[in-house]
Structure 1
Amino acid sequence: MNTTQAPAQTHMPSAARAGLYARCIDISKRVRWDIDRDVIRGRRFDFSKKFLPDGLSHVDRMEFLDAGEQRLLSQIQGRTYANLFGLAERFIGAKVLEVGREHALGDQTAMEALVRFADEELKHQELFRRVETMTAAEMPEGYQFLADPNAVAGVVLGKSTWAVLALTCNIEFFTQAHYRASIEPDAGLSDLWKDVFLFHWREESQHAVLDELEWMREDAKLGPAERDRAVDDLIELVAAVDGILMDQAWADAGYFLSIAGRRFSPQEATRVRACVLGAYRWQFIGSGIEEPRFSAALNRVIDQAQAQRIAAALEPILQ
């Protein structure tokens, strides 16, 4: 599939920016899909197969789990993976509508691109609600998704636009990286689950370009002191994400241990909890930080001291 390229510098010529907005509209029109007609197509999830690949779930790192237990844990993680994307798209859609208003009486191409972006995010939220309904019907009772999307969005949107767009850009980049590097190559995953993230990826590719365009546009408005405060906001947002992941990892590990069908030793239970948390931190924080396109964009707009603050905040999370 053809995709646009992310902006190469902080302050782009207006003609180049307009061209990227226009190309995102063109891609949006060409790849647009429908949940029932194109993605679900009357199918159910295949619970004889894994949902998340090992590169994301890390279930293969626990040698004391047999193949069936690894498969079950990958399905639990996959259910949460979808729910976390649905949660993130709640605040992403709201922020896109907010920044789009700045184009409302000006660049109509940019406005259309962002309206399409917000519309697609609403569709993605519906897709992930469908995933939750379908998996809940097939899995034992007891699973809980703890974070409330509206409450999380309220916290996120209370931070500076620069920080919210930086976090959003990170999410969009790692979404693409996960699909290309781990999900697409794995032939052993549930076909429907794999298709959910294929179609999600197809629309997220242009979202990443728009995120970076708007992030760089916002950065151009800031002075050094404002940007420094925005970096602190970004650090606080990453810490908030980590708090969500810690709570959900504990809940998901407990759910797995309760439905796996056998008793685990205290040492094994501890390893399950640690592995799930490590996997979630990799999925939603580490993989984005290490994505070259995101790190390049971030390094264009922060100085060395700010980079060191971010690294210090990440160290206890990613070790």
Structure 2
Amino acid sequence: MQKYDYAKCIEISKRVRWDIDKDVIRGRPFDFSKKFLPDGISKVDRFDFLNEEQKRFLSQIQGRTYANMFGFVERFITAKILEITRDHWLDDQVALEALVRFCDEELKHQELFRRIEPMMSSRMPAGYRFLPDPNQVAAAVLKNSTWAVLGLILEIELFTQEHYKQTIEPDENLSELYKDIFLFHWKEETTHAIMDELEWPREDRKLTDAERDRAVDELIGIVADVDGILQLQSGSDVDYFLKAGGVSLRPEEIEILRSGVLKAYRWQYIFSGVEHPRYQAAIGALVSDAQAQRIRQALAPLL
């Protein structure tokens, strides 16, 4: 874990603060002559039966879903972080300010992703559907223990970092606006992961062994629910790609496409976070060997 504290998070938050219109959108449209997500995230380069135009369109569909996914997960992230500020109300005011800033930034990110959806919709063929309802998903996630939800939140915050630094930032052939959205998103998310790494162990110290064991099962259940969402959304996105893109493929190619997009989504939203060294270190410090084995066994079928 990085050796930062709440005060350092406040310092970084003040320094990187940005405005949606002035800094990010700046009156620009998306460039549909370019990809949105890089191949390292979308995995479209693996579909050698698609031409370059088709791969670009598929990356734009995935990019649209990618933005919408962040918009909806930040609904329950904000709610949970706002809830745990209660522990600091009459205690550490520096921690309280850091976490309030966390919530404020996540609310802004939700607005950003709401704003860009119609911008993408206006330039893409009709028929795209984003299936998860943010409020319903948030309500379902928040029924679980704080320990389990913080475990999910840290996983999300870490794959945000991984995706931007490893694949989005180095790619010079993406839509400039799309790339900038995740540049500015990344700037503020860096401190969120740090605060997750501080809050998860703090929550863990409250639990009995039995409570922690139940929380591990809850985390496994949440990941299974996330995978259910990915199965539905990946199928919907492939259907849209085939219909809106006028793509004619052989049945075996469609099957490869369906399984490949689902595999890409599972990597994007589950494994790139779970396998992150910081995540492994964080959860490894909290769970027993037997609990860690249960988690690995639950994830194995998704691979």
* TM-score over 0.5 for the pair: yes
Q: Percent of pairs identical after alignment?
A: 63
Give the match for residue 161 of structure 2. Answer: 176
2:102 pairs with 99, 110, 117, which one? 117
Give the match for residue 287 of structure 1. Answer: 272
Which runs of no fewer than 5 residues in structure 2 stay unpaired? none
The answer as to whether partners of 1:89 and 1:125 remain within 8 angstroms in 2 is yes
Give the match for residue 63 of structure 2. Answer: 78
Q: Tell me the number of residue pairs that the alignment of Structure 1 and Structure 2 aligns.
A: 303
1:310 pairs with 295, 298, 303, which one? 295
Give the match for residue 149 of structure 2. Answer: 164
Secondary structure in 2 matching 1:245: helix
Amino acid at match of 2:2: A
Give the match for residue 6 of structure 1. Answer: 2
1:1-319 matches, within 5 Å, as 6=2, 20-317=5-302, 319=303
The answer as to whether partners of 1:6 and 1:208 remain within 8 angstroms in 2 is no
Q: CA deviation at 1:220?
A: 0.9
Amino acid at match of 2:282: A
Q: CA deviation at 1:262?
A: 3.3
Q: CA deviation at 1:290?
A: 1.1
Q: CA deviation at 1:106?
A: 1.1
The answer as to whether partners of 1:32 and 1:203 remain within 8 angstroms in 2 is yes
Secondary structure in 2 matching 1:52: coil
> TM-score of the superposition, structure 2-length normalised?
0.99
With 266-275 and 84-93 compared, the bigger mean Cα shift is at: 266-275
Amino acid at match of 1:167: L
Separation in structure 2 between the aligned mates of residue 89 and residue 211 of structure 1, nearest angstrom:
14
The answer as to whether partners of 2:36 and 2:175 remain within 8 angstroms in 1 is yes
Which runs of no fewer than 5 residues in structure 1 stay unpaired? 8-18
Q: CA deviation at 1:261?
A: 2.2
Pair 295,37 (structure 1): closer, same or farther in 2 beyond 3 Å? same
The answer as to whether partners of 2:18 and 2:184 remain within 8 angstroms in 1 is yes
The C-alpha deviation readout for 1:79-100, integer Å capped at 9, x for no partner, is: 0000001111000000000000
Give the match for residue 11 of structure 1. Answer: none
Separation in structure 2 between the aligned mates of residue 108 and residue 133 of structure 1, nearest angstrom:
39
Amino acid at match of 2:21: D
Secondary structure in 2 matching 1:138: coil
Poorly superposed stretches of 4+, deviation over 2 Å: none
Q: Give the CA RMSD over aligned residues.
A: 0.9
Secondary structure in 2 matching 1:301: coil
